[in-house]
Amino acid sequence: MPRNPRNDADRFLDKVTPTAGGCWQWTGSVKPSGYGQFRVGARIRSAHRVAYELWHGEIPDGLVIDHLCHRRDCVRPDHLEAVTQRINIRRGVNIAARRARQTHCCRGHEFDAANTYRAPNGTRKCRRCRAMAQNRARHRREVACAAS
């Protein structure tokens, strides 16, 4: 028998508390990662995904839900946006997100097509800095050979 979505919405809203910052804090069950959980039928689902689907509709294939407020326990529908995983990571605040947003290397050289290469581990590297490091190493070897 199909579930009544209105009943799910009512049950869902019973587990929400508005905060002073405008978020809807999830007061139901929470995973160790900080994301809320909500039972829909026999399945336990992420509360923020359920919120998005209740108010915005189905999540398009290949997209994830981004918390625009950066709070994992927020389920306010207008704080949630369906985006690609790449966009979600770039909007984050962790080290991977900060590095993905970098436009220049630590010495100020621009990461552009001519000056950037991908290391085997997938990270971006500056060609100019690499060339300078190779020149310094070559010079050290020459000095060491001349001294012996």
Q: Is the same domain home to 110 and 93?
A: no
The structure's pTM equals 0.69
Domain containing 42 equals 1-100
Q: Is the same domain home to 80 and 112?
A: no
Query: pLDDT tens digits for 77-115?
Result: 999 999 999 899 888 888 888 888 889 999 999 999 999
Would you state the pLDDT for residue 100? 82
Q: Is the same domain home to 94 and 106?
A: no
Q: Is the same domain home to 88 and 18?
A: yes
Spatial neighbors of 4 by CB under 8 A, at least 6 apart, are none
Spatial neighbors of 81 by CB under 8 A, at least 6 apart, are 65, 66, 68
Instruction: Tell me how far apart the alpha carbons of residues 18 and 118 are, in angstroms, rounded to a whole number.
Output: 45
* pLDDT over 60 at 16, yes or no: yes
Distances (CA, A) of 71 to 38, 86, 126: 17, 18, 34
Query: pLDDT tens digits for 53-85?
Result: 999 999 999 999 999 999 999 999 999 999 999
* pLDDT over 60 at 12, yes or no: yes
- Quote the crossing angle between the two packed helices 5-13 and 47-56, to the nearest 10°: 130
Confidence of residue 133 (pLDDT cuts 50, 70, 90): very high
Query: pLDDT tens digits for 24-46?
Result: 999 999 999 999 999 998 999 99
Q: Is the same domain home to 91 and 108?
A: no
Q: Is the same domain home to 95 and 109?
A: no
